[in-house]
């Protein structure tokens, strides 16, 4: 009874427009004030314990690295390399948008950063080539979902910590699903562009690719350092994130020279604000999760699922539908942090690999980054292009359908998530 009322209180606070972190903490405080006789300081203790994890330091580091890459000229050179490889295809600029977003995602781990960094270049470029601006915005918003999916991924790090599984395994597990969804989106947009009459530009040239690769070498080296270092055992994901920050700063200052010393503080301040918001949500979900655990809500949910759903596949599909709906109203980070502690024990009761389950959760919640009314990528693309969101939304269905098909493929084909993890054992 008390647990149900606390969940209702959380949603009421959120619908009143109170920020997510404060809604979670206030709901937990309400529980202590009304239902139990414990000191309220326990909420502060839970907030601190929620962020007092070494692995969690990777999250702010990757956010800072993403901002440094955005302003340091790295995203521009990634776009140049992608254009030399796929820009001559029918709908080449659309394919460049997806490929560039996938490469940038392999450095930053965040959807909004990917959408902003690549979109600021590709949306105007697509419009210059005759593409419909709302089509370009919808495509860039969708391509931004690879930020939290392809490693390194903020969501994968958070799930690994929440579920108690290896963060390194989670990062590796997201690679093949991320590439698969990227290829599916490229196929979809090329087919759409052929029908719309959007043509490629120029002709393919190995010399042009080699020149673009040389120009972008230090940009492409970033994911090699990150992933190579993690999986060779040279450093942990957290250390990789810190090294990426210094690497991105050095490239932006001394190699590409697109970051000025006087602007470093401004870039850092912007990154720290975003990182602080995420870490506050992480701490608040720890406090809210303490309430849910005390009221044995995860066990009740597990019992309910087990009583009505008999097979793991049906359970996973039910979770996907739930998360798709949740993603329309809650951002991916709080949705993951709130729902993972509840759903992970249920997945374990079905003998589902928790790594595969994490990939399913992240893939599904990433789709929520582009679904209205709350999809953050949608609003970032709208802001970059100075277009009303309601003009972009009608262009989204083909992209979302392609991603949902990819999501169900990931759900039903477990080796897509586990192949590289098992290979690395």
Radius of gyration of the chain from Cα atoms? Answer: 21
Query: Are 394 and 388 in contact, with CB atoms under 8 Å apart?
Result: no
- pLDDT at residue 352 in the model: 92
Place of tokens 């709208």: 382
- pLDDT at residue 362 in the model: 93
Map out the domains of the chain as residue ranges.
55-423
> Whole-prediction pTM value?
0.81
d(C-alpha 315, C-alpha 363), whole Å: 16
What are the distances in angstroms from CA 400 to CA 125, 153, 186, 360?
A: 23, 21, 13, 16
- pLDDT at residue 208 in the model: 79
d(C-alpha 171, C-alpha 167), whole Å: 6
d(C-alpha 133, C-alpha 265), whole Å: 33
- pLDDT at residue 3 in the model: 65
What are the distances in angstroms from CA 188 to CA 132, 293, 334, 364, 401?
A: 16, 43, 30, 19, 10
Which of 113, 120, 117 lies closest to 136 in space, CA to CA?
Answer: 120
- pLDDT at residue 302 in the model: 67
Query: Are 186 and 146 in contact, with CB atoms under 8 Å apart?
Result: no
d(C-alpha 336, C-alpha 177), whole Å: 18
Within 13 Å of residue 211, how many CA atoms lie on the same side as its CB?
8
Largest CA distance in the chain: 73
Beta strands in 165-304 (DSSP E): none
**Tens of pLDDT, residues 340-395:** 888 898 898 889 999 999 999 999 998 988 887 767 788 788 887 888 888 888 88
Which portions of the chain are predicted below pLDDT 70? 1-3, 108-109, 111, 200, 202, 298-299, 302, 306, 374, 425
Q: What is the dihedral of CA 87, 212, 185, 71, to 10 degrees?
A: -120
Range 231-257 burial, b when 16+ CB lie within 10 A, else e: eeeeebbbbbbbbbbebbbebbbeebe
- pLDDT at residue 330 in the model: 77
- pLDDT at residue 363 in the model: 93
**Tens of pLDDT, residues 207-263:** 878 888 888 888 878 778 777 777 777 877 778 878 888 888 888 888 888 888 888
Q: What crossing angle do the helices spanning 111-128 and 58-71 adopt, rounded to 10°? A: 20
DSSP 405: H
Tokens (6 digits) for 291: 């309430």
């Amino acid at each position: 009874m008390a647990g149900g009322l606390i969940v209702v209180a959380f949603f009421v606070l959120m619908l009143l427009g109170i920020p997510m972190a404060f809604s979670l903490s206030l709901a937990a405080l309400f529980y202590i004030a009304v239902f139990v006789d414990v000191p309220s300081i326990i909420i502060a203790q839970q907030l601190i314990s929620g962020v007092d994890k070494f692995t969690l330091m990777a999250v702010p580091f990757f956010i800072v690295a993403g901002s440094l890459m955005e302003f340091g000229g790295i995203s521009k050179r990634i776009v140049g390399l992608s254009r030399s490889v796929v820009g001559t295809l029918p709908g080449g600029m659309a394919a460049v948008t997806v490929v560039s977003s996938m490469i940038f995602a392999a450095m930053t781990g965040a959807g909004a950063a990917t959408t902003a960094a690549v979109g600021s270049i590709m949306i105007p470029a697509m419009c210059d080539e005759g593409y419909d601006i709302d089509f370009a915005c919808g495509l860039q918003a969708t391509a931004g979902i690879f930020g939290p999916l392809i490693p390194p991924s903020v969501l994968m790090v958070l799930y690994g910590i929440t579920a108690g599984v290896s963060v390194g395994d989670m990062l590796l597990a997201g690679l093949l699903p991320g590439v698969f969804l990227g290829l599916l989106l490229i196929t979809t947009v090329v087919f759409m562009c052929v029908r719309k009459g959007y043509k490629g530009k120029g002709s393919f040239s190995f010399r042009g690719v080699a020149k673009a690769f040389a120009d972008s070498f230090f940009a492409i080296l970033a994911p090699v350092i990150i992933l190579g270092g993690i999986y060779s055992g040279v450093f942990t994901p957290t250390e990789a994130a810190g090294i990426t920050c210094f690497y991105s700063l050095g490239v932006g200052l001394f190699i590409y020279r697109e970051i000025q010393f006087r602007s470093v503080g401004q870039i850092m301040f912007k990154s720290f604000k975003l990182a602080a918001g995420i870490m506050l949500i992480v701490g608040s979900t720890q406090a809210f999760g303490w309430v849910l655990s005390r009221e044995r809500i995860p066990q009740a949910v597990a019992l309910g699922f087990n009583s009505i759903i008999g097979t793991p596949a049906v359970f996973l599909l039910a979770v996907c539908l739930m998360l798709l709906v949740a993603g329309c109203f809650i951002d991916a980070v709080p949705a993951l942090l709130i729902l993972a502690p509840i759903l992970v024990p249920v997945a374990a009761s079905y003998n589902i690999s928790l790594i595969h389950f994490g990939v399913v959760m992240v893939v599904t919640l990433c789709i929520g980054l582009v679904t209205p009314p709350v999809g953050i990528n949608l609003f970032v693309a709208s802001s970059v292009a100075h277009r009303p969101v309601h003009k972009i939304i009608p262009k989204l269905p083909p992209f979302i359908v392609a991603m949902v098909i990819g999501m169900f493929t990931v759900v039903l084909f477990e080796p897509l998530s586990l192949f590289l993890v098992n290979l690395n054992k």
